[in-house]
Structure 1
């Protein structure tokens, strides 16, 4: 019966994990809202045996409650941007280390823009920040963000972001073995920050958004060899399959916490 009202569309859409499956299924429910409500108010439903069963009555009551659909929309507004972060992490086409930090910031901005009242998402941010800071946020992510020319030159606030800069220098101290090389690398950073040497050439400037960070540094970082070697180590990193599985699992916990918040709000 349902398939006849939804143009043969199934509601369950399997994903890589339970979190992805839940999001995709909620999205399908949202798209089919009018058709599902139409089904539960149709004569076909009323005359069916399902309408007389306890579970059928509960399903009809749920589908006709406006609060149910409001909760679905709330969950989609919150989960949608997080799914995009997971797609960055799970991408096998290019190294994702230079993109994760910015992707998470963009996700939080998208969530905030979806609501007109900060109180509606502040608890959600607490859940996200707790998971992000404890399990996903590492100096490597901050360093990759800083050394991605597409982000660095288009967002001047990066240069004043203490968290990002601390992450960068933590990586330098950890990955660069000698003090002498660390000092050389620190001096070379000024060429990058001030667009000096090759970094100031128009072809290099155009390449900021045309090339991947690895390609960009490979072509234009020859004047800063110590920095180039360091950047290539970081920007070439990608998540392993096991790492992606852990990330999906982490956000599954986030989704459960979000649902609890929804219930408390409504």
Structure 2
């Protein structure tokens, strides 16, 4: 007999057929201990609720069933990437957040058996852009939401720890997390799911940089249209960097906002009126 607490309130009349009998009302459940728990807790369509069961027993079995459901979700949603730093590949134990073993087996075979949900082209039409998803989440803040399972909390903690470790290794400023563009990055990775191949050095340096340049040009298109419609003002801002170079930034201001044009290193010549006029004239 298992360690299921429901056996404290049920018994077997015949060990051969596994039919559980309720200790309170003597009703026989042909579905075994699982049906017996539904009978004790009540609220299930296919099982008649026990009318003699005390309320504290119902609460005990209800909490046990909820805990078992979370452990099952945790096991089924385990990702197939490097998630066991301190365990051997050939001997994997799945531990929940409370430190209890919920499953075990051989490493690669046990994890690979958890097949991830496959995504197809149709998902691209029903998955909102990361920026929209982030904004929707902000708008829904404060509304009633479902409680995250122990599985999701553990997976988030694991992902955050890996990300923080990468930041420390790359010496990235903590302030970078406050950028508005950061949350959509995390959302886009989450929409892809497990198995995403990270961008390479070449991709970030060449093709992705060209795409971002095109994206920036599209953002500035409205500004350029207003230049011709309402006029604009060309501005210059001089400053010195840590290497004591004299740099001059040129910007264009219009009712829609200010747009950066270029930066010129003016360290090799004096900032005379004629030279400033020549630089401004090139921007015009």
Structure 1 length normalisation: TM-score? 0.26
Structure 2 length normalisation: TM-score? 0.25
More helix by share: 1
- Which structure has the bigger radius of gyration? 2
More strand by share: 2
